[in-house]
A and B are shown apart, each in its own frame.
Chain A
Amino acid sequence: MSRRQPPFERLVPDYVKRFEPYIPSKPDDVLKKLYGCSRLYRLNNNENPLGPPPSACRSIRRFPPARASIYPSGDAYHLRCKLGETFGMHPDQFLVGNGANEVIAFAIKAFCQQGDNIVTADKTFAVYEWVAEFSGFEARLVPLRDYGFDPDGMIDSIDERTKILFVCNPNNPTGSWWNEETLRSFLNRVDGRQIVVVDEAYREFIEGRPFTDSMALIAEYPNLVVFRTFSKMYALAGLRIGYLAGSREVVDIIRRTCVVYSVNGLAQVAAFAALDDEEHVLRSREQVRQGKEFLTRELGLLGLDVVHGEGNFMMVHLPMSDSLAYRKLMTRGVMVRGMTGFRFPNWIRVTMSHMEAMERFVEALAEVLQGNSCPVV
């Protein structure tokens, strides 16, 4: 037996040495104990408090336990066929992953090699930047303009080693979004030289506005790749399932780097059923609308600035450190997302939820801002 440590200095690439592992939140029961709260309102991850659509719930309940012993479809065959029907595209234009995070990694692995770079915004979903950097690729970050992605800045950042441009649309956390005219103009200027990824994780929350039909644009722009997820609107975050869509040629390239069998069978049948449930979408949008109206009014009364657009979340500017506000809110049973990691120091992001949770959040935040004594931890 050799107890000798591996020579990490030699074995580990420099770009991995620079990284620390991402530490996810502790489970709710542990957090409740640490913060001394008996109930926890989860307003931090943009989860849908309505839960999965009833159709998906039925599929989950009917899932025979014996099927847990059988490998799932390795490439989510039935779900891809259903997506093809839904969007009028070929099933091979879809690639299903273990959450949208996995398809981000597939796309970067498929197109980037040493010396390449990706372009995205500085204040957006962090995973594009993280995956690029811990894979050894440069992430070029373009400052937001008026809380939105800056198409001119992104175009200016492109060089001959740029492979992918990531646009979060609507943007998490600001909720800003590009309309069809802006997206078309951007794609025209890119002129097919790079892959353009439009991450539409929150696309289903948009209502009443002429939002881009990006799936239809794929036929016109073969370099366009669209990401979607079942974690947000369809509330299947716990099952981890998302997908990308693109031209058959582009998807064929990305498929070469994907891990088959990474999406479990239960997630596949739940997602399949969820796609049909339009009623769930309408109820979720209604809840988000009510939450935004309530919070805009109540936070305005507290003298706080808010930023929100599309999506089931809102950003709130605080006169204190967001990490301190997080801790104080946690002692009151309210969990929000601090925005320091999104490069918005002293902002928090709040998920729209049912009215009881919204009211508790406002009450707790008012206490924190008034400097009321904190419950003893």
Chain B
Amino acid sequence: MLLATGCDEDFLPLVTSFVKEAALCHGLGRDEAMGLTLAGEEIFVHLCRTAKPGREPVEIRCGSGGYYVQAEFSFTAEDLDLRAFNLTTSIALDDDAELEGMGLVIASRLVDRFQLSFEQARHVRLSLVQEKSYPLHEEDSPPVCPPLSRVSIRPPSPEEVKLIARQARHCYLGHYLSDFFKYPGKLVDMLAAGEYQGLAAIGPAGEVGGAILWNWAGRRTVECFGPYVFTEDSDSVMAESLVEGCIGAIARTHAVGLINTRPTPQLPEQHFERLGTLKASTEDGASMTVHAWFRLMREDEGCAVWVHEDLQEFVQRECRRLVLPREIRRAQNAGENLPAHSVISVQSDRLQGRAVLRPMWPGSDCEANIEKHVHLMRQEGIPNLFFMMDLGQAWQADFTSGLLHHGFTPCLLLPYAGEADVILLQLSESGS
């Protein structure tokens, strides 16, 4: 569903009605639909108040992702002061403005996921995602799966997906599982919508012996979950078949990397390389270490990466360890003029307690901008804060000093996760 409208607050009722009715039509409950509607209202008002007269219309697309509804605002920002799209910016662009005046922040609070991204030619997309409510999985004991002499690997049916969710909850501790295993119906919808894909190991009598799931975590990166094995003997051959099935399914897509940040004990390590570790804070405030694994899906033809001197040692060490052929180039500001105001995008996921910051636009205020974002995320109670820096874009290196100063530390080098490799930095608990 698409609505194109001029940036004029007179059209606000039209916009809110559109978002609300679309949300209800796509199956959101009243409360969730209202959250999405109010978030859309905040976004539209923010745009109207920052736009110059006569600008091109804003397009609002509402669609269903099966288990969620998304409202996406897209527009060209040619006539806009881009700093208006920092989540930290108040409409009045007044440093002393109260948080209540900050429409983007308010919008981000009202929905489950919020993402601001910039594309070519200053095209801006603001995505608001509200998930449907699903009943929690009841803690019952699914039937134990006996050892299976042979299995076929195929996509599971919806009923099998629900069984997979129950079996996974029964067989694995919580830290091995993503939240969606708590909601079998949500998992069914995630797979049915195609955003997630999966394979199950099915025994001769229809037993569900194991499963693996995956989804696109970026333009060129796929993230897999599992493999989960439910048989009494923790069949390693089945686990390898599931991983090979996943690899085969994405082998001829544009995926360059396959990552796994929740490996189970059955992960066939010979198919992966150890990428590094992350710290994660769980819902109950506990801290856990997450091991990240990956494999390249292609032969590495090498590339150049731009690195600030303060990260050079990390990048060199990781390239040597992972045998990545890279021409490491020093990225250094040589006193050239920069725009006054940088822009940082935020992708927040309140359900996962996680936010990822990405630099969108360079600026001489980047250190102060990082500080504002860290402060805001702390205020918002988001414990897991990351910053992704694309080493294929030299200007992003300008953010390095500010990041390190405010307590971010590099933890992973993700090969080809951007224009070139991406460094994932994580804010330490004591940072800023």
Contacts and interface: CB of A to CB of B under 8 A. Distances in A.
Interface of A: 5, 19-20, 23, 25-26, 30-31, 34-36, 122, 126, 129-130, 319-321, 323-324, 326-328, 330-331, 337-338, 340-343, 345-346, 374, 376-377
B323 interface: yes
Interface residues of B, number: 29
A203 B286 CA distance: 63
B313 interface: no
A340 B297 contact: yes
Nearest to B219: A20
Contact of B120 (A5, A19, A377): A5
13 contacts: A34-B326, A35-B325, A122-B248, A319-B270, A321-B270, A321-B295, A323-B296, A323-B298, A340-B251, A340-B298, A343-B251, A346-B270, A346-B271
B143 interface: no
A327 B300 contact: yes
Contacts of B326: 34, 377
A35 B120 CA distance: 33
B272 interface: yes
Interface of B: 120-121, 220, 243-244, 247-248, 251-252, 254, 270-273, 295-302, 319-320, 323-327
Contacts of B120: 5
Nearest to A19: B254
B400 to A, nearest CB: 22
A377 B325 contact: yes
B300 A345 contact: no
A19 B219 CA distance: 12
Contacts of A343: 247-248, 251-252
Given A331-B323, A377-B324, A341 B298 contact: yes
Contact of A342 (B220, B251, B273): B251
A18 to B, nearest CB: 8
A338 to B, nearest CB: 5
B300 A326 contact: yes
A340 B301 CA distance: 15
Nearest to A348: B299
B302 A323 contact: no
Nearest to A26: B301
B247 A5 contact: no
Contacts of A324: 273, 295-296, 323
Contact of B299 (A320, A323, A376): A323
A129 B252 contact: yes
Contacts of A340: 247, 251, 295, 297-298
Nearest to A326: B299
Contacts of B324: 327, 377
A293 to B, nearest CB: 27
Contacts of A321: 270-273, 295-296
A323 B254 contact: no
A26 B295 CA distance: 21
Contacts of A328: 323
B301 A25 contact: yes
B271 A345 contact: yes
Contacts of A374: 320, 323
A26 B302 contact: yes
Nearest to A342: B251
B253 to A, nearest CB: 8
Nearest to A341: B251
A345 B243 CA distance: 9
Given A327-B300, A338-B298, A377 B323 contact: yes
A-B residue pairs, 5 tightest by C-beta: A20-B254, A34-B302, A34-B325, A323-B296, A343-B248
A337 B298 CA distance: 10
A341 B256 CA distance: 11
A31 B270 contact: no
A4 to B, nearest CB: 8
A338 B300 CA distance: 10
A146 to B, nearest CB: 16
Nearest to B247: A345
Nearest to A129: B252
Q: Which of B296, B299, B300, B301 has the most CB of A within 10 A?
A: B299
Nearest to A328: B323
Contacts of B297: 323, 340-341
A377 B320 contact: yes
B302 A35 contact: yes
Contacts of A20: 220, 254
A215 to B, nearest CB: 31
A323 B300 contact: yes
A340 B320 CA distance: 23
Nearest to A143: B248
A45 to B, nearest CB: 12
